[in-house]
């Protein structure tokens, strides 16, 4: 078929554009690394922001991609944050079920396992369809959750939502790829801002839905819409380099056959088993239970011994490994990754523990107030994430992380001063959450700078996300176990004597404690000798017993915060000479075929 003048003109413009990109690529040697893949087409390589096409930053494909990323992040966070605060209400509605704890467990587990897969595979095979599919999976999960009639169906929904979250919460390195390095911190602050309804305000919105006819299902309806819109934006606007742009001289089948699939299987299998054990321990089973011990031993050996040994063996044979091992010798990168994990440990750990404290320690008679107080940790953490990006842009990441970490860790310990004092505890926990949120966000973004090549951004981001989730699961397990163990001591220690001194027969104390904990009725027939006066005295003692247990949880937080205070000193400021680099960008899909078939350097 003969080309029309219009076709010829468009082809010529694309060739000229590609030639220009090639020349610009050659001129940008200051951004090049000895590790960069020369097999990439010029369109798939990083370049200076000044060389971007006029109007690119206001183009529909760039702004639409940013919208897709922000909406995707909303979907990833909301699928968990909107459900966690009302989990007990959900269990009352479609349960009761002993499996309700799995709703939270499977989300964190699925997210952790898939983080590295998303980053590594999208580095190799291209990003576009990974993120489209991610939002579609989250949409399906939200629909399943919205129509769930039992807890097991809800668990299945959260498995899908957790898998999708690994795509959606990878926003920080996807955004970092699209904007100049100088503006990465600000761009990530934008994503946190978009997530306000499903992240910092999630608890308040969740309780607000509880006052509507649809109740908690409203959160899933809302998430279905958010994920559908996100998937649409990914599909319409997000056109990063395709596989053919990433690999001009390699066939897809060749890469597929030589990919380290054994490493992928070892990693996903061992991490799943190990995290499963951490999630079980102290919650579903005692730590000494064979289920827990067996999974910790098996998963630990496979994850920390067998998998690294396989990767080392493969590397020595000159083969590409699933996980580039040089990332573990990158000191600054590793410091940033683990500080990110420590920040997330606070978010996830206290997002579960603090709402329990609010319900148990304080007399809250309003759903609105309960939603506000329960969500204060998440609110301040995310507001800190927004603030941290702006601060790092001004003073640099090093002193931002050091100052915020050194503020947060001691403040969380100070929360143990008097947990029954709502005003004091709220003042401390909000300040600490703001500071640790700022530290976490800046550390996460800084992981995208300290790489030997920006072409491994997805892999490095995926590993960072996996470690973040690993530390979160560990912290959540530790906090829950510490709280449960302390309550078994403090409740009998304070409630029994107080009730007996008020006149309750000692034989009625176990039934009284069961009633106060919600595992039995709290009535005169169930608790012989109970009076309103004894009940009031016992309730006060029960609050005090809980406050003593929560003190230990706040003390325990320093195990993470103290480590962060040390790691913070390993972080360095970024190389400002590379601040103009745009690691990747989105192209006009109309020119895609031509850009794939016109390697300008070879046709010059």
Supply the pLDDT for residue 600: 45
Supply the pLDDT for residue 34: 64
- Residue where the block lists tokens 């044979």: 317
Supply the pLDDT for residue 464: 92
Cis peptide before 96 (omega within 30 of 0): yes
- Whether 283 and 142 map to the same domain: the answer is no
- Whether 449 and 508 map to the same domain: the answer is yes
- Whether 367 and 457 map to the same domain: the answer is yes
- Whether 106 and 198 map to the same domain: the answer is yes
Would residue 21 count as lying in a domain? no
Q: For residue 181, which of 576, 594, 533 has the smallest C-alpha distance?
A: 576
Rounded distance between C-alpha atoms, residue 594 and residue 493, angstroms = 76
- Whether 137 and 267 map to the same domain: the answer is no
- Whether 210 and 316 map to the same domain: the answer is no
CATH of the domain at 398: 1.20.1250.20
- Whether 194 and 220 map to the same domain: the answer is yes
Which stretches of the chain score pLDDT less than 50? 1-21, 23-27, 600-601, 603-604
- Whether 299 and 423 map to the same domain: the answer is no
Would residue 498 count as lying in a domain? yes
435 φ/ψ angles, rounded to the nearest 5 degrees: -70, -45
Contacts by 362-371, CB closer than 8 A, 24 or more apart = 362/422, 367/207, 367/208, 367/210, 367/211, 368/204, 368/207, 368/208, 370/207, 371/85, 371/203, 371/204, 371/205, 371/206, 371/207, 371/208
Q: For residue 393, which of 170, 181, 178 has the smallest C-alpha distance?
A: 181
Would residue 579 count as lying in a domain? no
Classified as helix, coil or strand, 101 is helix
- Whether 216 and 296 map to the same domain: the answer is no
Residues 342, 167 contacting (CB under 8 angstroms): no
The residue range of the domain holding 298 is 260-321
Would residue 196 count as lying in a domain? yes
Residues with Cβ < 8 Å from 141, sequence gap 6 or more?
Answer: 79, 157, 158, 159, 160, 161, 163, 164
- Whether 100 and 191 map to the same domain: the answer is yes
Residues with Cβ < 8 Å from 289, sequence gap 6 or more?
Answer: 280, 281
Q: Which of 321, 352, 368 is the last residue of a domain?
A: 321
Rounded distance between C-alpha atoms, residue 522 and residue 196, angstroms = 40
> How many domains is the chain built from?
3
- Whether 464 and 316 map to the same domain: the answer is no
pTM listed for this prediction:
0.86
- Residue where the block lists tokens 């599919």: 133
Residues with Cβ < 8 Å from 460, sequence gap 6 or more?
Answer: 119, 173, 327, 333, 447, 448, 451
Would residue 155 count as lying in a domain? yes
- Whether 231 and 271 map to the same domain: the answer is no
Structure tokens at 550: 């929560």
- Residue where the block lists tokens 């304080």: 362
- The Cβ of residue 308 has, within 10 Å, a number of other Cβ atoms equal to 15
Would residue 589 count as lying in a domain? no
Would residue 13 count as lying in a domain? no
Would residue 326 count as lying in a domain? no
């Amino acid at each position: 078929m003969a080309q029309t003048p219009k076709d010829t003109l468009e082809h010529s413009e694309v060739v000229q554009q590609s030639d220009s990109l090639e020349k610009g690529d050659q001129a940008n040697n200051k951004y090049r690394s000895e590790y960069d893949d020369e097999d990439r087409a010029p369109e798939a390589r990083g370049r200076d922001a000044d060389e971007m096409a006029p109007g690119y930053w206001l183009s529909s494909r760039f702004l639409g991609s940013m919208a897709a990323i922000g909406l995707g992040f909303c979907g990833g966070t909301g699928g968990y944050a909107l459900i966690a605060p009302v989990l007990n209400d959900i269990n009352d509605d479609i349960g009761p079920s002993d499996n309700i704890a799995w709703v939270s467990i499977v989300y964190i587990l699925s997210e952790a396992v898939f983080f590295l897969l998303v980053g590594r595979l999208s580095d190799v095979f291209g990003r576009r369809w990974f993120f489209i599919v991610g939002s579609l999976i989250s949409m399906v999960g939200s629909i399943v959750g919205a129509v769930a009639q039992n807890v097991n169906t809800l668990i299945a929904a959260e498995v899908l939502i957790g898998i999708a979250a690994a795509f959606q919460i990878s926003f920080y390195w996807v955004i970092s790829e699209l904007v100049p390095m100088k503006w990465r911190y600000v761009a990530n602050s934008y994503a946190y801002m978009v997530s306000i309804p499903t992240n910092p305000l999630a608890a308040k919105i969740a309780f607000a839905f509880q006052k509507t006819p649809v109740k908690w299902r409203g959160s899933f309806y809302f998430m279905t819409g958010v994920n559908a819109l996100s998937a649409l934006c990914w599909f319409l606007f997000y056109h990063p380099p395709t596989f053919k742009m990433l690999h001009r001289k390699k066939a897809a089948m060749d890469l597929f056959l030589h990919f380290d699939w054994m490493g992928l299987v070892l990693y996903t299998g061992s991490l799943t088993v190990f995290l499963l054990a951490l999630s079980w321990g102290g919650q579903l089973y005692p730590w000494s239970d064979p289920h827990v011990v067996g999974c910790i031993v098996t998963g630990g050996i496979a994850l920390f011994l067998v998998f690294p040994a396989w990767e080392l063996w493969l590397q020595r044979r000159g083969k590409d490994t699933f996980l580039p091992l040089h990332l573990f010798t990158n000191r600054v990168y590793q410091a940033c990754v683990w500080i990110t994990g420590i920040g997330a440990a606070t978010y996830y750990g206290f997002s579960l523990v603090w709402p329990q404290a609010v319900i148990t320690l304080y007399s809250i008679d309003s759903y609105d107030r309960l939603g506000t107080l329960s969500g204060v940790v998440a609110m301040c953490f995310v507001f800190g994430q927004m603030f941290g990006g702006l601060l790092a842009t001004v003073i640099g990441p090093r002193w931002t992380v050091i100052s915020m970490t050194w503020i947060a860790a001691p403040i969380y310990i100070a929360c143990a001063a008097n947990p029954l004092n709502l005003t004091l505890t709220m003042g401390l926990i909000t300040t600490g959450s703001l500071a640790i949120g700022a530290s976490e966000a800046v550390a996460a973004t800084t992981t995208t700078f300290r790489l030997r090549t920006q072409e491994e951004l997805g892999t490095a981001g995926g590993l960072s996300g996996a470690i973040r989730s690993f530390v979160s699961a560990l912290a959540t397990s530790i906090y829950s176990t510490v709280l449960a163990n302390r309550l078994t001591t403090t409740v009998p220690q304070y409630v029994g004597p107080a009730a007996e001194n008020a006149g309750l027969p000692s034989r009625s104390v176990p039934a009284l404690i069961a009633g106060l904990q919600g595992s039995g009725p709290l009535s005169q027939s169930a608790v012989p000798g109970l009076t309103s006066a004894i009940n009031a005295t016992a309730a006060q003692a029960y609050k005090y017993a809980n406050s003593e247990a929560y003190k230990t949880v706040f003390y325990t937080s320093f195990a993470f915060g103290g480590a962060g205070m040390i790691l913070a000193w390993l972080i360095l400021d970024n190389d400002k000479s590379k601040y103009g680099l745009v690691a990747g960008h989105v192209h006009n899909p109309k020119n895609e075929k031509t850009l794939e078939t016109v390697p300008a350097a070879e046709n010059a």
